[in-house]
Amino acid sequence: MNLTVFPRRGYIQSPTPLEAAPKLSQLLNGPNIYLKRDDLLPGAGGGSKTRKLDFLMAEALEQKADSIVTCGAVQSNHCRLTAGAAAREGLECLLVLEERVPDSYKPRASGNNLLFHLLGASTIRVVPGGSDMDAETAKSAASLRDAGKKPYVIPGGGSNPLGALGYAVCAEELLQQCFFLGLRPDAVVVASGSAGTHAGLLAGFAGCNASLAVHGISVNRPRAAQEDKVYSLAAKTAKLAGLRDRIARADVVVHDGYVGPGYSFPTAGMREAVTMTARTEGVLLDPVYTGKAMAGLIDLIRKGVFHKGQDVVFMHTGGSPALYVYEDEFLAARGE
């Protein structure tokens, strides 16, 4: 696997930290937990999408685009980071937001919504939950073309094979860090949503001949549907990366017990995970992705799936700006 052949924008100049989380590990009396701090990636507010945008924005500029169209949920981290990257490249940015929870779009909401505006997204179009988002972004792109513009469309979460290469890079980077730390992790735990992160990691580990179990924690779909989505994207990403071997379907592992009532809805496990990680390690997770992924890791430790003597890497993919629209959840839990 030689990922240097793909054009990139160079948003990422150095590896993100791989940090031990000794207090959290001790409290759970389980494996040694390590945090891969992709929440500290460059880009407005940090987080995983910068790795994908590094490749996607390079293609946009190669195609001489003057505008970017992308989509996401009303508090999308991907939309925030895309708006930031577009600002940096001097491109217009149009966001199509899917109101997955009825009446959840608040034009004056804090968190990522505030940042969409601050980062200069030119247009925000809100469509009902369940809309065909590929069709909606295509529609927005068509109207820009009618106005004489040259839009580049980035799919939700930046999760196409080119974007997912960003996480094949991360897989190589992580193995390199483990090498220098003398660490042989037993598993990686990651939030699995639009699937580019999970699929890219699988392709990257395969490309390095590393048999390392990747446990995806679904934030949205039931297990079979999410595994199919990850598998399909991992296969395409591996092909793009020039891998000879196929990804095995059996290597795609998703746990769907931590979604709760649905995407972005708070759960007791998420609240516990966010609070515990903050108070043991001083690290902020988020309510939609990493909070539920950590709830999954905590539960899998309590069930004995991961145990003492093992080393587990938790991918911290970012998202903390969304905490600021969940203040009632966390303050109410303290009775305040």
Ligand X SMILES: *Cc1c(COP(=O)(O)O)cnc(C)c1O
Q: What element of type H or E holds 82? A: helix 77-89
- Of 121-129, 145-153, 170-178, 187-195, the segment contacting ligand X by CB under 6 A is 187-195
Handedness of CA 22, 27, 32, 37 (dihedral sign): negative
Choose between 9 and 49: whose C-beta lies nearer to ligand X.
Answer: 49
Report the residue from 98, 136, 172, 286 that binds ligand X according to the rule CB under 6 A.
286
Report the residue from 45, 196, 287, 296 that binds ligand X according to the rule CB under 6 A.
196
Choose between 31 and 163: whose C-beta lies nearer to ligand X.
Answer: 163
Report the residue from 77, 113, 140, 277 that binds ligand X according to the rule CB under 6 A.
77
Does 78 sit near ligand X (CB under 6 A)? Answer: yes
Distance of CA 125 to the CA centre of its chain: 22
Q: Is the distance from CB of 132 to CB of 21 less than 8 angstroms?
A: no
Does 113 sit near ligand X (CB under 6 A)? Answer: no
> What six digits make up the tokens of 181?
């730390």
- Of 113-121, 195-203, 262-270, 303-311, the segment contacting ligand X by CB under 6 A is 195-203
Integer Cα distance of 262 and 221 in angstroms: 8
Residues pairing with 315 in the sheet: 36
Does 80 sit near ligand X (CB under 6 A)? Answer: no
Report the residue from 75, 159, 218, 264 that binds ligand X according to the rule CB under 6 A.
159
Does 215 sit near ligand X (CB under 6 A)? Answer: no
If one counts every other C-beta atom within 10 angstroms of the C-beta of residue 299, the result is 17
CA-only gyration radius of the chain, Å: 19
Choose between 115 and 195: whose C-beta lies nearer to ligand X.
Answer: 195
Does 290 sit near ligand X (CB under 6 A)? Answer: yes
Smallest distance from ligand X to CB 336, Å: 26
Report the residue from 43, 151, 161, 193 that binds ligand X according to the rule CB under 6 A.
193
Integer Cα distance of 140 and 179 in angstroms: 46
Helices of type H across 241-283: 268-281
User: By C-alpha distance, which of 297, 208, 215, 225 is closest to 253?
Assistant: 215
Does 25 sit near ligand X (CB under 6 A)? Answer: no
Does 45 sit near ligand X (CB under 6 A)? Answer: no
Does 161 sit near ligand X (CB under 6 A)? Answer: no
Integer Cα distance of 9 and 13 in angstroms: 10
Integer Cα distance of 313 and 95 in angstroms: 33
> What six digits make up the tokens of 167?
């996480």
Residues acting as catalytic residues: 76
Contact residues toward ligand X (CB under 6 A) are 47-48, 77-78, 157, 159, 191-198, 286, 289-290, 317-319
